[in-house]
Amino acid sequence: MSSFAKIVGTGSFLPSQRVTNEALVAQLALGGVESSSEWIVERTGIHARHFAQPQEFSSDLAFHASVQAIEAAGLGPQDIDLIIVATSTPDMVFPSTACILQHKLSKLHGAAAGIAGAPAFDVQAVCSGFIYALTVADAMIRAGNAKRALVVGAEVFSRLLDFKDRTTCVLFGDGAGAVVLEASETPGILASDLHADGQHVGILCVPGHVSAGAISGTPLLQMDGQAVFKLAVGLLHGAALKALAKADMVEADIDWLIPHQANVRIIQSTAKKLKLPMERVILTVHDHGNTSAASIPLALDVAVRNGQVKPGQHLLLEGVGGGFTWGAVVLRF
């Protein structure tokens, strides 16, 4: 039995519709909401985000990112024996987006015989979802229950936005990121640290549900931005230190910090606490916005493909999201 799980391929996908701050501000103005690109950049660092078309769903974005990751690993879909999708915007109430993704992958040439029987399920931890999903996949591989896992973060958060609330609608975008984890004799995922505290459930939520054929409650995102900011920095720092301690490492051992891409101010504050210069932080929030569970694997794939992240380097991934959930993963790439 292999002792470790290692990332052997990454992939990502963004919808073709890129929405700049200027375009979003013009859209908001039509609804009587005032904002400006300067206001958005100053508070968030975001310059643009991508929105899915009405006919695009999380499974579609996940599919494209997954194909990239599987190809980067030098594998085919038939080689995957576990699928975990982290999402807060599933295609439907059920079945899981992971099962829908599995079906789409099974249609690829030669894939059906293998991937069609693999376990597939979703993880819902909002913006921490990819960290949770990666930890679950790592544990299943270490336990011998899988050899190669496809772990995906995919979101269409644009469907949840209230475009009359300028404090939230400017923050989020759509996208997907994926990794392939493989059983390995050499270290890959070194340690993880997961947490949740349900007493904060109300500060970031979409309090709506389907009942009797109609939507009951509020199906749009609601957030107490100040409360989220205050919690996020401290919780991320704590989880990072715990994960590093489990890996018998310290902050200086990290080559790259790849944080959840929510807000550049949160990222800067977290890096400062970890005594890491911003030159060692992967940033994509300026062009992606907050893509929730997709943000970390999206940023990872961008950094891999542009040559920033190299084999053998140590990475610290960390995320915080509604629930309130948070966590960190330390790995050797």
Secondary-structure percent of the chain, ordered helix, strand, coil, rounded to 5: 40, 25, 30
Buried b or exposed e, range 88-123, using 16+ CB within 10 angstroms:
bbbbeeeebbbbbbbbbbbeeeebeebbeebebebb
Asked if 288 is an active-site residue, the reply is no
Cis peptide before 95 (omega within 30 of 0): yes
- For residue 127, indicate whether it is catalytic: yes
Catalytic residue among 50, 127, 205, 237: 127
Known catalytic residue: 306? Answer: no
Q: Which of 50, 64, 200, 260 is catalytic?
A: 260
Distance between CA atoms of 275 and 251, rounded to whole angstroms? 7
Secondary structure of residue 258 in the 3-state scheme: strand
Reduce the DSSP state of residue 72 to 3 states and report it.
Answer: helix
**Pick the catalytic residue: 50, 169, 263, 290?**
290
Q: In what side-by-side order are the strands of the sheet with 82-86?
A: 4-13, 174-184, 148-156, 82-86, 120-123
The string of DSSP letters for 136-199 reads: HHHHHHHTTS-SEEEEEEEEEGGGG--TT-HHHHTTB-EEEEEEEEEEESS--EEEEEEEE-GG
Give the type of residue at 249. Answer: M
Distance of alpha carbon 174 from the chain centroid: 10
Taking the alpha carbons at both ends of the chain, their separation in whole angstroms is: 21
Which residues does 53 contact at the CB level (< 8 Å), separation at least 6?
Answer: 15, 16, 17
* 3-class SS of residue 316: strand
- C-alpha torsion angle, residues 66, 91, 222, 281 (rounded to 10): 0
Report the catalytic residues.
127, 260, 290
